[in-house]
Copies of this chain bind each other. A is one copy, B any other.
Amino acid sequence: MRTLLILLLAFLSGCASTPALRGTGDLGIVIERASGRVAIVDTSAHSILARVDGLGDLSHASAVFSRDGRYAYVFGRDGGLTKVDLLLARIDRRVIQAGNSIGGAISQDGRLVVAQNYTPGGIKVFDAATLELLSEVPTGSKVVGLADLAGQRFGYALFDTGEIWLTDLTDPRHPRTRKFKAGQQPYDGLVTPNGRHYLAGLFGEDGIALLDTWQPEAGAKKILENYGKGEEKLPVFKMPHLRGWAVAGNRAYLPAIGRHEVLVVDTATWQEVGRIPVKGQPVFVMARPDGRQVWVNFAFPDNGWVQVIDTHTGQLVQTLQPGKAILHMEFTPRSEEVWLSARDDNTVSIYDTASFARKTTLAAESPSGIFFTSRAHRTGF
């Protein structure tokens, strides 16, 4: 009898510890960069649900999500790839996949996670369920700007050899790669929201390389030849993140490099059509999902400011001071709120994007990247 009771109690305690059922559409993570930890957040309740430790070096970390929204794949600077279970609030799997990594992406069908590496270079392809290594593509170069594309393809740029590569992982153990001449020292890349155009910023020359992935056979061409390092007059405190580039309607909003300006580009012609003066050197220039606003943060010493451009009027409509060292911004998918991390204030602030009122502030240790599960449903994130 006693044994039976103990058994039953053991069962019961297992039962009691099962987390409550919940949807995953309003979950996300905040990287606590100094602590090797992520905070799991609830964007409906404006709360931190749990923390998960043991993710290694999370400086410059980024994340993608499984298509069911349950798992985050976190790419650490130290080459760690960690699959975090957001419902059980624990590490599901973790591998050290390279010596020095700066991010990754997830395939269109959600079955493959791909990491881009500085050291030893190349990309590595993992089974999203098990993190088993399926294949790798050596590049002989640092890889930057990895982005997922339609057809189980991935685009990325090679810093040392000046190329854009497109790798097709339809057969994930046998990657097929096409290579395109891009220009001197691509330092980051992105894909437009519709997944069509892959762009790589060039560090070694002025301009940006553009590849139309709907017709890659046409090759990459150079656009915005006055964009880049060449003509800068100001010291560059922090290279802008291209991944944050805002495309709203038929305009792209780009951080000028070294200048206190946001460039406005027509996405039909890829010609510059305007410049908007801002408070500092822009780092992230991000469109609200509906395209009505563009939010901008800045490099040191202006990294306590955030400015908002109304894309309808082309005017600055708001200047905010959300905290010290604003490192990242993430919009809720239907645009009503934006979350901002203030690293040196140890806070994450949530703003209403219509009234610009601060709704609440959450405590987080040196927060950097903020990533919501709605990214699972978007291309090039």
Contacts and interface: CB of A to CB of B under 8 A. Distances in A.
Interface of A: 1, 4-5, 8-9, 11-12, 15, 18-19, 21-27, 43-44, 65-71, 86-88, 108-110, 150-151, 194-196, 214-215, 248-250, 268, 290-292, 312, 333-336, 354, 373-374, 376-379
A87 B23 contact: yes
A374 to B, nearest CB: 5
A377 B334 contact: yes
Contacts of A334: 67, 108-110, 377-379
B68 A22 contact: yes
Given A21-B88, A312-B214, A377-B374, A67 B1 contact: no
Nearest to A67: B26
Nearest to A70: B23
A70 B22 contact: yes
Nearest to A1: B1
Given A23-B87, A25-B376, A195-B290, 5 more contacts: A24-B25, A108-B335, A150-B335, A150-B354, A194-B249
Contacts of A86: 23
Copies of the chain in the assembly: 2
Contacts of A290: 150, 194-196, 379
Contacts of A109: 334, 336
B196 A25 contact: no
B25 A67 contact: yes
A151 B354 contact: yes
Contacts of A15: 11-12, 15, 18
Contact of A26 (B4, B11, B22, B68): B68
Contacts of A9: 8
Contacts of A333: 376-378
A376 to B, nearest CB: 5
A291 to B, nearest CB: 5
Contact of A292 (B12, B88, B150): B150
27 contacts: A1-B1, A4-B5, A11-B12, A12-B12, A15-B15, A21-B21, A21-B70, A21-B87, A21-B88, A23-B66, A23-B70, A24-B25, A25-B25, A25-B66, A25-B67, A25-B68, A26-B67, A44-B68, A69-B69, A110-B334, A150-B335, A194-B249, A194-B292, A250-B268, A333-B376, A333-B378, A335-B379
